[in-house]
Amino acid sequence: MTKLELRDLGNTGLKLSCVGFGASPLGNVFGDVSEEDAIASVRAAFRLGINFFDTSPYYGGTLSEKVLGKCLKAVGLPRNEYIVSTKCGRYAEGFDFSAERVTKSIDESLERLQLDYVDILQCHDIEFGSLDQVVNETIPALLKLKEAGKIRFIGITGLPLEIFTYVLDRVPPGSVDVILSYCHYSINDTSLEDLLPYLKSNGVGVISASPLAMGLLTERGPPEWHPASPEIKSSCQAAAAYCKEKGKNISKLALQYSLSNKDISSVLVGMNSIKQVEENVAAATELAIFGKDEETVSEIEAILKPVKNQTWPSGIQQS
């Protein structure tokens, strides 16, 4: 079995497994997960070379952090063998990026995770707050938490790509270590690509989430609430049906597509079962050995061409 590839995260010195474990499903976000299944999936992830786990107090209204904490404790690996990232600023009760709230937030998260520190603390979905507050108040508060040893690195997350340049252009160089982007590096939308040279030149690490575009690139299709336009949905549905007809799985191809860009340190995938962990790692292993299925990918790209790089609105209008 080839070991899962580790990739450098910007200038942090951290090496992340190219497949990251998205722990939002552990918060029962997509249906109930028993504690046994949760622990078994985290154990399987470690066994197969995944070392990066991402959560947030928002997922499952703090349940994801609690369950991940229990899992990490049950598996009992040395703390320096895995990388944990959580978030602040977005909660079940709403958004609050104030210095006071995020400072309190990390203590709550560490208690739930049963950890002394997290490797990365990210401001969660900053397009829903004031970007100027994030620049002038939130990031300085996180820098203090870094000095206090509660966090090692600082990140920002969100959907609209312009939020990243807005913040990075205004904070002291080196104060933001990593960005987490979602739904902008998959077969239907590769708009993150245009930002990669800028991020690289700033030494900022890149994590990409939702390689399946929040369910668009699956045989089952997206959930009811999915914010994409009817055009995007029907194109993705057509692509999924085409793959199925050819005996291919669109989800596996989509994950491999996202993994094939080495400038992205880790692709986060939500997981809550041993089967999902094994499938995701197998897709990465297959990619490492055989490369991606160029023929099918270009056929899917042709089907998705009319909606290429189309996204949906997220957040509040920034003044």
pLDDT tens per residue, range 36-93: 999 999 999 999 999 999 999 999 999 999 999 999 999 999 999 999 999 999 999 9
Question: Is 91 an active-site residue?
Answer: no
What is the rounded distance in angstroms from the CA atom of residue 213 to the CA atom of residue 215?
6
**What pTM value is reported for the model?**
0.96
Contact predicate 96/64, CB 8 Å: no
Q: Is the dihedral of CA 154, 159, 161, 167 positive or negative?
A: negative
User: Which residue of the set 58, 59, 182, 185 is catalytic?
Assistant: 59
Q: How deeply is 55 buried, as exposed, middle or buried, from its count of CB atoms within 10 A (0-12, 13-18, 19+)?
A: buried
pLDDT tens per residue, range 5-42: 999 999 999 999 999 999 999 987 566 788 999 999 99
Contact predicate 167/131, CB 8 Å: yes
Q: What are phi and psi of 22, to 5 degrees?
A: -80, 120
